Amino acid sequence: MSFIKKIYVNGKDEVEFFKQLEKRSGETDKKVSAVVNEIIETVREGGDSAVKAYTEKFDGKLPQYYEVPREVINDAMTDADPAFVEALLNAIENITDFHQRQKSQSFVNAKADGCIMGQKVRGLDKVGLYVPGGTAAYPSSVLMNAVPAKIAGVKEIIMVTPPLKDGTPNKDILVAAGLCGVDRVFMSGGAQAIAALAYGTEEIPKVDKIVGPGNIYVATAKKLLYGVVDIDMVAGPSEILVMADETAKPKFVAADLMSQAEHDRLASAILVTTSEKLADETIAEIERQMEYLERKDIIRYSLENYGAMIICNTKDEAVDMANRCAPEHLEVLFENPLEYVGRLDNAGSVFLGQYASEPLGDYYAGPNHVLPTSGTARFFSPLGVNSFEKRSSFIYYTEDALRKAKDDIVLVAEKEGLTAHANAIKVRFE
């Protein structure tokens, strides 16, 4: 008997499964919140000395540098594997091409009566980019956060990243930072780095927004500091839902499900299919392929607890289920996948066809891999250029135009009991 659940859609069993799935994120642990609150307040009061003390406490020693010198970043790029640099440059080209199309435009609307209204769009002044260090270091996340920020016109990107155990920076992270034009890099991680970015210290600038993934302490710090500073999103465990029919290749489906299951024990990987035969063959493929994957223990735990093979009666039923689940990653391995794009309303990113495997989006194709999780794709969008933009509107009215509008404005203001609002209009025509 397989360790992966098979669920037949009947209006009850699949509903119960998705309810259980929603519980995996849950509320932030109160103990974690208490620890993070203490760290935030200590850094707010103590600045860099508090940040360094926490770094020494949690990482075992102070890093080689607090701020990484520019020549160290340049040396990392010089010494890097040329093939790795080329791969990153190719990815940057694709990410840039995609995100340049998202840039918002300022506009001016000059009316015939002389009134002028418009919107001014510009990039944020300073953005903080958190990048996990050590074994969970992801250069691809540097690209996905820094490239759209630069396109938006962000003036300065401040990166924080924890040191390796020997106190040195992760060279791959430095290469990605250098190629993307990150302005400054500080060797600090955890909630203390988030607090430093939010409030500013003697050396680490106060930023307008903090982006980037991290552990539960980082995520909690971002959540608690939202309002003091803007954040990208509160991300939950990774997830993928694959919709497939009998034409899909079990080998591909299995590999794609495991590509997300390996992220985290809480990750969710689900197959929704009209073919029970495909489900059975996919399970067999998972058990075969898993044996030669390094993170097979994590994959097994994730699939056993939060994975499922859901057998639908029709493709329409599968589409409805995908929209209800609102997954972070949605793969469509139906015979004619492009037919379904217009009907898939709730997903962070949609991958169409057997050769649009999810890691293509993680590393290379161009669309952002920072995506809403835990069903929030119903109302949240992927990270993009507009995540780093701010907008202001402006209004110019002539005397004649205001005279025509004054009675309406005064009437509404007085209905709301705001007589000073009404007065500000009346005094101009007394």
Q: Specify binding-site residues for substrate.
A: 238, 260, 263, 329, 362, 416, 421
Hey, what are 211's tokens? 């982006």
Show binding-site residues: 130, 192, 215, 238, 260, 263, 329, 362, 416, 421
Residue 11: phi and psi, rounded to 5, are 85, -5
Show binding-site residues for NAD(+): 130, 192, 215
Per the CB < 8 A criterion, the answer to whether 166 and 65 are in contact is: no
Concatenating the DSSP letter of every residue in 234-292 gives: ---S-EEEEEE-TTS-HHHHHHHHHHHHTT-TT-EEEEEES-HHHHHHHHHHHHHHHTT
329 among known catalytic residues: yes
Closest alpha carbon to 198 in 233, 167, 160? 160
In our burial notation (b when 16+ CB lie closer than 10 A, e otherwise), range 289-314 reads bbeebeeeebbbbbbebbbbbbbbee
| Active-site option among 328, 331, 358, 389 | 328
DSSP H/E element including 72: helix 70-79
369 among known catalytic residues: no
* Residue 43 buriedness (CB in 10 A; 0-12 / 13-18 / 19+): buried
| Active-site option among 329, 331, 358, 369 | 329
DSSP H/E element including 30: helix 30-59
Q: Which residues are catalytic?
A: 328-329
